[in-house]
Amino acid sequence: MVSSLLALSLFLFVGAGLSVADTPVSCMYEDIRGKWVFYVGNGGYDNNINCSTMGYEVSKILFQYKLELKYPNIVIDEFNNEGTWTMIYDEGFEVTIHNRKFFAFSKFTGNMFNSTSFCNETFPGWSHDVFGRDWACYYGNKMAGDAAKSSESGELAGSQPVGERLYRSDPSMIEKINSDSSILWWAAPYEKFEKMTVNDMKSITGGHNTKKLRPPKLNKQPNTNDNNIPDLPDNWDWRNVSGVNYVTPVRNQAVCGSCYAFSSVGMCESRLAIATGNQVKVIFSPQDILDCSSYSQACDGGFPYLVAGKYAEDFGLVEEKCNPYQEFERETCDKVARQNCTKYYFTGYQYIGGYFGGCTEQLMREALVKHGPMSVAFQVYDDFVHYKGGIYHHTGLSNRFIPFEWSNHAVLLVGYGRDEKTKTNYWIIKNSWGEEWGEKGYFRIKRGTDECAVESLASQTFPIF
């Protein structure tokens, strides 16, 4: 019976017609917290096991594993072992307990416009020991909880016919931004955007399947770690630390929703350089992530936690020269070619604060100064695409011509500072839209107020060398 349930889950997963991140599923913290049973299949496999397609068959469930996900990120199993867990945005969750990891996406049916989330079930996911040697597939069922919840959306930018229209700047919006002295930044039209469709614009700002950032409201006490943070410098910029630049050049993702991949490789490149005293300078391949990662959705989005973190730990990153960027996803991963590439591994990945929902501005600054640039995400509104310089904050203005949809865009945090003239604290962030955009490919955004949720989804990882 359990095996047939797993087969049904596999069928539904493939039949949904979508990859696994970003997906239409929407599960909140309280949907996931509680008692679960994991149905774990035969082990002994390596990381070539594919738990996301019907190509992998479990002859029988090896065992059932009961555990409870508790507040805020504690997990206790039936044998009283204790571990940790975190949500991956609203799309799945990862458990680490007794030297073993379990990761799966929450189950759904439907599509981005009309879907049903089954937050008390998961799709088949991956389980392995912390050394990445013994792999198995599993799926999870919550022991109690609502069976399903539906969600519908209106016409998104990726739908017909709006998506095929050419994007059009709104001169009136730009003029209002530049003439308002209370706005701390200035705007400009970009010719390259005028040549893109609305679908293309949706892709560069996060991918067609991205959703509004909604960090869990855990009603937690102020993070006690904040009280132990050492004094930090007033300003910091990894592009110039005692005259040394640890940040790799700005790149251009083009019209693929691969911002998460560029954010991920940018973090890994800088942190490897920092850890080796700038002796190891590598440019990693975002294309490899698009082609080969089962933890993301290629040109339709993904999460740095699962790429710079889980993918880089489980499979390693390869250099750009091994798989140059093509601006589109290939149908299959060339595993033979990948096998001949040098792999660079990372570990210790985590959300800042230890779990999704635990992030604070102070903890972000500490991690940035101590360990290097990190991946962050924020809510993109239609005024942001016209940013040219200054300290960005959402103005509330919108494009009259094109109904631009908000999206969740991943970027690379490299520093912070304070503008003494306006008494405004800001973050310094590297984008992936080319050097001609913004402040030579970078932008500054208000710091300490969670502007556009930029202080909600920071994650980090650490190089192995």
Report residue 159's pLDDT band, with 50, 70 and 90 as the boundaries. Answer: very low
Which residue in the list 119, 137, 256, 259 is annotated as catalytic?
259
Distances (CA, A) of 215 to 48, 75, 400: 33, 20, 30
In 3-state terms, what secondary structure has residue 321? helix
Q: What are phi and psi of 461, to 5 degrees?
A: -150, 165
CB-side neighbour CA atoms (13 Å) of 344: 24
Name the maximum alpha-carbon separation found in the chain.
Answer: 68
CB-side neighbour CA atoms (13 Å) of 35: 5
Does residue 56 surpass a pLDDT of 60? no
In the residue annotation, 452 being an active-site residue is answered as no
CB-side neighbour CA atoms (13 Å) of 413: 31
DSSP label at residue 145: S
Token pair in block for residue 389: 């310089």
DSSP label at residue 226: G
In 3-state terms, what secondary structure has residue 151? strand
In the residue annotation, 409 being an active-site residue is answered as yes
Domains of the chain listed by start with CATH number? 29-152 (2.40.128.80), 185-463 (3.90.70.10)
pLDDT (tens digit per residue) in 63-87: 999 999 999 999 999 999 999 999 9
In 3-state terms, what secondary structure has residue 175? helix
The pLDDT value recorded for residue 51 is 87
Q: Which residues of 402-428 are buried (b: 16+ CB within 10 A; e: fewer)?
A: bebbbbbbbbbbbbbbeeeeeebbbbb
Which residue in the list 141, 252, 408, 431 is annotated as catalytic?
431
DSSP label at residue 227: G
pLDDT (tens digit per residue) in 342-399: 999 999 999 999 999 999 999 999 999 999 999 999 999 989 999 999 999 999 998 8
pLDDT (tens digit per residue) in 13-40: 333 333 334 678 889 999 999 999 999 9
pLDDT (tens digit per residue) in 195-253: 999 888 888 987 655 555 556 655 444 444 555 667 899 999 999 999 999 999 999 99
pLDDT (tens digit per residue) in 36-48: 999 999 899 999 9
In the residue annotation, 425 being an active-site residue is answered as no
E strand intervals along 299-406: 346-351, 374-380, 387-392
